[in-house]
Amino acid sequence: MKILSINAGSSSMKFTAYEMPEEKVLISGYIERIGIEGSFYTIKINGEKIKKEIKVVDHKQAFEIIVNELINYKIVETLDEIKAMGHRVVQGGSYFDKSVIVNEDVLKKIEELSPLAPLHNPAAITGIKAAQEVFPNALQVVVFDTSFHQTMKEDKYLYALPYEWKEKYNIRKYGAHGTSHQYVSIRANELLKKQNTKLITCHLGSGASISAVVNGKCIDTSMGLTPNAGLIMGTRCGDIDSTIIPYLMRKGKTIEEIETTMNKQSGFIGISGKYSDARDIMQGCLENDPRAILARDMFVNRVVDYIAKYYFEMNGCDAIIFTAGIGENSFYFREQILNRLSIIGIHLDKEKNEKCIGEEAIISTKNSQIPCYVIPTNEEVMIARDAYNLL
């Protein structure tokens, strides 16, 4: 049975076609700069990566491109072979604790929650509606980044604000990257050969979050009402003193200016003054750039803070997992983080860590009290699994 996983952004679309339930990848691709000059897409099939430049005016055309490539590469003969499509949606609020089949009520709720994910939810709606047009006979399913975190208890997800604000304005911690945290926690349990585990999952990339996972369920996570909470990120500030906002407004800054700065001009780029990418931060550190070093140290401090917090919150830990762009590929940042955790019996295997780039591996020594793993995330297969199960 063939199923498509879709991750639609405002000007991009990632897709992967799977043969299910075998979870065999048939073809994958990434369409970029939709509706923008210079649009193009890349296809990966049989280990080969092919780039094609083409004008892509909207998401409907993006799906038509997918259709053409599925037929061109003989993945399908007709669209009816695609039985279901799973769509990633960032914000599901308190409405959704699991993936669901698309209907009008689901779309209305996704739209209602758009202010909590203004860059993501509207794009997802556009993608879903375009998919309904191009694939009218496929079951459409939505998979929410926030669902995995709905197992948090009230004392973890509430802010110390008037309780009524939660009921009236939906102000609470929702988290993000849930599909990734869930995938790596499932894989970690397979590696540990047990289900009753206490895990700290570190999704470290341009966007970053850490979760505490007990027996396969999230009990706490670093992101909050929006993805701009918790860790320092590529362009996002993460946790700050909330009084900074009214203070700056009294100094003449508008709320729009402050919001843009906190989301797009802070984090690595704000501290270093020139780098939003962790690879550039690392290079700057190697060249003794003082502000790159400052950005690194602030990032590492915050990651260590959350790992330590969750270690004590869970009263121990069976494994620490690194995933996503930095977590999977940067031995440099993993070393910086884990060397700070020797107090809880963690010992890094320097050689294993440096060899591990984008692949699954254990990077701690045999005498480390807590094993530390790198597990590449696979949100697309989680989306496909949920679409298959709902079908």
pLDDT tens sequence across 176-226: 899 999 999 999 999 999 999 999 999 998 889 999 999 999 999 999 998
Can 145 be counted among the known catalytic residues? Answer: yes
Distance CA 314, CA 219 (A): 9
Q: What is the average pLDDT value for the chain, to the nearest integer? A: 92
For the segment 274-300, the average pLDDT, to the nearest whole number, is: 94
Q: Which residues on neighbouring strands pair with residue 140, listed in sequence order?
A: 85
Q: What is the pLDDT of residue 151?
A: 95
| Architecture in CATH of 192-374 | 2-Layer Sandwich (3.30)
For the segment 136-141, the average pLDDT, to the nearest whole number, is: 92
- Strands 82-89 and 2-8 come out as parallel
Q: What is the pLDDT of residue 134?
A: 84
User: What's the predicted TM-score (pTM) here?
Assistant: 0.90
Q: Give the DSSP H or E segment for 144.
A: strand 139-144
Q: What is the pLDDT of residue 9?
A: 67
Catalytic one among 80, 145, 220, 386?
145
Angle at which helices 331-338 and 278-286 cross, to 10°: 70
Long-range contacts of 149-152 (CB under 8 A, 24+ apart): 149/173, 149/174, 149/175, 149/178, 149/181, 149/211, 149/218, 149/221, 150/94, 150/96, 150/97, 151/97, 151/217, 151/218, 151/219, 152/218, 152/219, 152/220, 152/221
Q: What is the pLDDT of residue 281?
A: 94
Q: What is the pLDDT of residue 37?
A: 81
**High-pLDDT (> 70) share of the chain, %:** 99
Domain with CATH 3.30.420.40 in the chain: 2-144, 192-374
Among the residue ranges 132-141, 300-309, 372-381, the one predicted with the least confidence is 132-141
The structure tokens listed for 183 are: 């995938």
The structure tokens listed for 270 are: 């704000």
For the segment 333-349, the average pLDDT, to the nearest whole number, is: 95
Tell the CATH superfamily of the 2-144 domain.
ATPase, nucleotide binding domain (3.30.420.40)
Among the residue ranges 126-130, 242-246, 362-366, the one predicted with the least confidence is 126-130
Dihedral pair phi/psi, residue 156, rounded to 5°: -95, -35
Angle at which helices 379-390 and 178-192 cross, to 10°: 90
Q: Does 322 have pLDDT greater than 70?
A: yes
For the segment 345-362, the average pLDDT, to the nearest whole number, is: 95
